[in-house]
Structure 1
Amino acid sequence: MGLDAFVNCNCLREGKVKPAPFDLSLLEWTDDGIEMPDTVEDEIFYQFHEWKEQACTHEDMQIYSDRVGNTSGMNVYYGVLERLGEERFPLLRRIWGSPFTAEESRKALSELEQFERRVGEVEGIFLLESGSMEEYQMTLVGEDRWFYSAGNEITYRLNPEGFCVQDREGRVLFQSRAFTQETVETNRSGWQRFNARFSDSDTGSTCETTSPISKKIWGVEELYYPASFQVVNRGLTSSDLRAIRVLRKLFEASIQTGNPVIWV
């Protein structure tokens, strides 16, 4: 789940598309982009979608498309909007709705510039690998966010107290702002697995679970398990919100082409 968006190119209007196996006059500009009416025969409908993928130099006739954010990323985005005052950003708060016209995109870009200037006023909580300081999870101060659940038995959470392991009844099994992770190889049902032993760096308290915190590295088959973590609080930067970068490109593409931003 999450939010995706795109802006169509003008190649169809400018006659820069490849020959089509159907009558181009059938095509319509709709709230969903360039589409074929539902009333056409199935064969034409399938021909259109196959042709559209490579009809011009832009894949699927989209000059720009991207994921604005996954569910957690959009929750952070809306959380920041709320803290800065949603009423100040009337367009940015309704991006998950009807398409934005080019004129709305122009106004939304102005809102986005103000939003980016003020994002540092909001404080975030970050779970970082101690060595590289790479971010693994984040939430906003004042929130208690779960980011992992193991069969409803335990959840991993990030909140003002730090990293937290809770059982299904909500009891805190482990809480820390600086801790190590030791992975222990085990065999479950004939499969190689790893358990995790978390140890608080200050108190020495420990917690063992069947789910280490891991990361997938592109091109490497084995998962990477960091040895230590820390939780830090700091003001947000624009790079913490993927939505800022993507929205800017969407609005600029809309202004450039005169075509709407379509939310998916």
Structure 2
Amino acid sequence: MGLDAFVHCRCWQDGLTTPCPVGPVGYDEEGCLTLLPTDGYDAAAENAFYAWMAEDACPHRHMELVSEGVANWTGVRMFQQALRAAGADRFPTLVAGLPDGNDGGLTAGQAATALAELDAFGESRIADGTALVDEATGEVVMQYIESYRGVFMYGAGWHAGVDPAGFFVVDTAAQPPATLFRATRFAQRVLPDGRVDLVGDDGTRATVAMRPVGEHGSPPPERLAVLTRPRCADDYAYIVEPLRRLCAASVATGNPVMWC
């Protein structure tokens, strides 16, 4: 799951499409080409309209000049966090315009401003990040995301994550929720009964009915550490480049960037 976006081509505005088999057709209040409402819902007409857009209307599939998978939601939140850390007042359009869900968009005017902000971001000093790494390989297992309060793993009665103070496991079934384990460097061992034994270098210890940290590895890491790692603008190319293409297309066509 993540954030996708598109920009309509100009074929409809410029009279370059084939005739639509149904109607009326026009732009909704957000700037998305659609079958305008009439009396009652007509599923056949709607299906015919979307089939026309997808294949027959013009050379652009779905009448989209540009369509991008912007980033997964974790990637979006990491970029939003970097924007705030670099100075939210310097990137007001990006900070306000990147959504919390799959709706809304940017007008062509906002897209032009966002392009300038993306250029400025590329020249910015990015704050260091907090990450949990596998000590044996240096691979990042999880990163601190402020909007998630650092939580990255969920299970029945527990959640776990990383923040600047270390890796933590919380018993969410307790009232109030209680921290079962916290450490900046620790070892983990999966017991025969499936529980995980966590031992911090500071002597803290807990045995928890949870999944092992970094379980996507085979086997999962034995030793992990929370580190502060330098970040740079290039680390966010995964989202900056698709945003740049979308905004450039919006400016060129005068059509909005539509989140979806």
Asked if the contact 1:143–1:159 (Cα under 8 Å) also holds between the matched residues in 2, the reply is no
Percent same amino acid at aligned positions? 25
Asked if the contact 1:183–1:225 (Cα under 8 Å) also holds between the matched residues in 2, the reply is no
Task: Note the aligned Cα RMSD (angstroms).
Answer: 3.4
Alpha carbons of structure 1 residues 80 and 26: separation in structure 2 relative to 1, 3 Å: same
Q: For residue 178 of structure 2, what is the amino acid of its counterpart? A: R
Tell whether 2:142 aligns with 1:137.
yes
Match of 1:106 in 2: 112
Alpha carbons of structure 1 residues 253 and 125: separation in structure 2 relative to 1, 3 Å: same
Helix, strand or coil: the match of 1:106? helix
Deviation of the 1:88 alpha carbon: 2.0
Deviation of the 1:233 alpha carbon: 0.6
Deviation of the 1:111 alpha carbon: 0.9
Alpha carbons of structure 1 residues 68 and 233: separation in structure 2 relative to 1, 3 Å: same
Which residue of the other structure, out of 158, 168, 182, is the alignment partner of 2:162? Answer: 158
> Which protein has the bigger strand share?
1
Match of 2:248 in 1: 252
Deviation of the 1:72 alpha carbon: 4.1
Alpha carbons of structure 1 residues 215 and 256: separation in structure 2 relative to 1, 3 Å: farther
Q: Which runs of 5+ in 1 are unaligned?
A: 187-193, 218-222
Deviation of the 1:109 alpha carbon: 0.6
> TM-score with structure 1 length normalisation?
0.75
Q: Distance in 1 between matches of 2:42 and 2:149?
A: 52
Q: Distance in 1 between matches of 2:188 and 2:51?
A: 49
Segment drifting more, 29-38 vs 49-58: 49-58
Q: Distance in 2 between matches of 1:42 and 1:107?
A: 39
Deviation of the 1:22 alpha carbon: 0.5
1:212-244 CA distance string (max 9 Å, x none)? 224558xxxxx7633332221123223544432
Alpha carbons of structure 1 residues 245 and 184: separation in structure 2 relative to 1, 3 Å: farther
Match of 1:236 in 2: 231
Corresponding residue pairs, total? 248
Helix, strand or coil: the match of 1:179? strand
Alpha carbons of structure 1 residues 28 and 185: separation in structure 2 relative to 1, 3 Å: farther
